[in-house]
């Protein structure tokens, strides 16, 4: 029979099993039990000066490395300070997992010291979130959180853990496989729609490739180059897609929208077909929708259209 460990030790072991090597955070009362096993772990903890900095650092880490970023904060004000970076990660499709401490289970809902319903607060700005009051649930919740954060349209997941769950004893059981009922991210295109898109491209006289950050998320820059040169269409790249297509390429017209180039805006307005890949038609690009690309048909390929 294996020796029982604390929920906090189970949390850190689950993070190690998931492959975490860096996390950003600040200790505080409700999350403090996790810090002893963090100290003993090979995971590098970077102490920031504000929880918002921890969230943004996790986002930057995820953007640069392609891994899931991790931030950690205590309950109440510590957790609510993560709201802005969580909203930012959701908007920019960045995979991060935020781990927050919560007041002890019996105190939840009693307006206890430094209690905040961080699950309720973050529901609109996370892909999913958890409240854990049973230490046995920690490894599975962590495994699921990382899977959800990095699959489909990447985004933030929050795991809120009651302080007493971190202190209780448990057996560590990391799941060998995950079964997430109802979570089925689309990963394969519809063949009929692809054929229809190809037909529209063949018929178009003034196609424009309107490229968003999804191309970078999908590591599809090489495929974009191949398509652009094959159909000899001008390319415009949004702010989130900077670097997806070389600025030096003769077909690249720059960034569209109110902060973009005249060439990019003009090309969109005169196009008869927009091939929109990994972009969301942001209002800073389109302006008034009724006057945006008035003569263009639209092909829109995106993980979350």
- Please check whether residues 101 and 231 belong to one and the same domain: no
* pLDDT over 80 at 186, yes or no: no
The predicted pLDDT at position 181 comes to 79
For residue 77, tell me if it sits in a domain: yes
Could you tell me if residue 186 is inside a domain? no
Q: What is the mean pLDDT of the chain?
A: 96
The span from the CA of 259 to the CA of 19, in Å, is 39
pLDDT at 187 over 80: no
133 lies in some domain: yes
Q: Is the pLDDT of residue 227 over 90?
A: yes
In the predicted model, is pLDDT for residue 205 greater than 70?
Answer: yes
Q: Is the pLDDT of residue 185 over 90?
A: no
- Is 210 found in the same domain as 96? no
pLDDT at 16: 98
Residues 16 and 80 in one domain: yes
Q: Say what the pLDDT of residue 184 is.
A: 81
Are 203 and 266 in the same domain? yes
Which band of pLDDT confidence, cut at 50, 70 and 90, is reported for residue 201?
very high
271 domain-assigned: yes
What is the side-by-side order of every strand in the sheet holding 44-47? 44-47, 22-25, 69-73, 96-102, 156-162, 128-132
pLDDT reading at 177 higher than 70: yes
Residue 20 belongs to a domain: yes
Indicate whether 166 and 198 sit together in one domain.
no
Q: State pLDDT tens for residues 19-56.
A: 999 999 999 999 999 999 999 999 999 999 999 999 99
Q: What is the CATH number of the domain that holds 91?
A: 3.40.50.970
Q: Are 304 and 279 in contact (CB under 8 A)?
A: no
Distance from chain centroid for Cα 287: 26
**Does any domain span residue 181?**
no
Question: Is residue 136 included in any domain, yes or no?
Answer: yes
Nearest to 70 by CA among 29, 93, 99, 41: 99
Question: Max CA-CA distance within the chain?
Answer: 71
- 159, 253: one domain: no
Is there a single domain that holds both residue 241 and residue 164? no
Same domain, 32 and 112: yes
Higher pLDDT, 289 or 183: 289
| Number of domains within the chain | 2
- In terms of phi and psi (left: phi > 0; alpha: psi -120 to 50; beta: otherwise), the region of 91 is alpha
Q: Are 22 and 140 within one domain?
A: yes
Same domain, 132 and 165: yes
Share of the chain above pLDDT 90, in %: 93
- Based on its alpha-carbon atoms, the radius of gyration of the chain, rounded to whole angstroms, reads 23
Percent of the chain exceeding pLDDT 70 equals 99
Are 224 and 154 in the same domain? no
Convert the pLDDT of each residue in 61-108 to its tens digit.
999 999 999 999 999 999 999 999 999 999 999 999 999 999 999 999
Kindly report the CA angle at 51 between 102 and 26, in degrees rounded to 5?
70
Residue 178 in any domain: the answer is: no
Q: Which of 115, 141, 170 is a domain's end point?
A: 170
Query: Is residue 189 pLDDT above 90, yes or no?
Result: no
Q: What is the span of the domain harbouring residue 135?
A: 5-170
Give the model's confidence band at 1: pLDDT under 50 very low, under 70 low, under 90 confident, else very high.
Answer: low
Other CB atoms within 10 Å distance of the CB of residue 225:
16
Terminal alpha carbon distance of the chain: 50
Same domain, 134 and 87: yes
What pTM did the predictor assign? 0.93
CATH for 258: 3.40.50.1220
For the chain, how are helix, strand and coil distributed in percent, rounded to 5? 45, 20, 40
Instruction: List all residues 6 or more positions away from 147 whose beta carbon is below 8 Å from its beta carbon.
Output: 178, 180
């Amino acid at each position: 029979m294996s020796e029982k460990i604390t929920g906090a030790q189970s949390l850190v072991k689950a993070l190690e099993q998931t492959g975490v090597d860096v996390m950003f955070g600040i200790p505080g009362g409700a999350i403090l039990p996790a810090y002893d096993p963090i100290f003993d772990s090979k995971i590098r903890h970077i102490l920031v000066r504000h929880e918002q900095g921890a969230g943004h650092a996790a986002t930057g880490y995820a953007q640069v490395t392609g891994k899931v970023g991790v931030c950690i904060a205590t309950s109440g004000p510590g957790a609510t300070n993560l709201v802005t970076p969580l909203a930012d990660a959701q908007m920019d499709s960045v995979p991060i997992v935020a781990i927050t401490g919560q007041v002890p289970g019996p105190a939840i809902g009693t307006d206890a010291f430094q209690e905040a319903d961080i699950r309720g607060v973050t529901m609109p700005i996370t892909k999913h979130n958890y409240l854990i009051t049973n230490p046995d649930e920690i490894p599975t919740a962590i495994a699921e959180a990382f899977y959800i954060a990095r699959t489909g349209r990447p985004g933030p997941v929050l795991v809120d853990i009651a302080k007493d769950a971190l202190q209780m004893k448990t057996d560590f059981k990391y799941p060998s496989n995950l079964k997430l009922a109802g979570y089925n991210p689309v990963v394969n295109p519809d063949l009929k729609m692809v054929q229809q898109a190809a037909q529209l491209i063949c018929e178009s006289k003034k196609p424009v490739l309107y490229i968003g950050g999804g191309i970078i998320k999908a590591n599809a820059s090489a495929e974009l180059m191949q398509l652009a040169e094959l159909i000899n269409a001008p390319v415009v790249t949004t702010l989130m897609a900077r670097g997806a297509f070389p600025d030096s390429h003769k077909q690249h017209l720059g960034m569209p929208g109110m902060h973009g180039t005249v060439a990019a805006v003009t090309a969109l307005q005169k196009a008869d077909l927009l091939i929109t890949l990994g972009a969301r038609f942001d209002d800073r690009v389109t302006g008034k929708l009724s006057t945006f690309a008035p003569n263009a048909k639209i092909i829109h390929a995106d993980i979350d259209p």
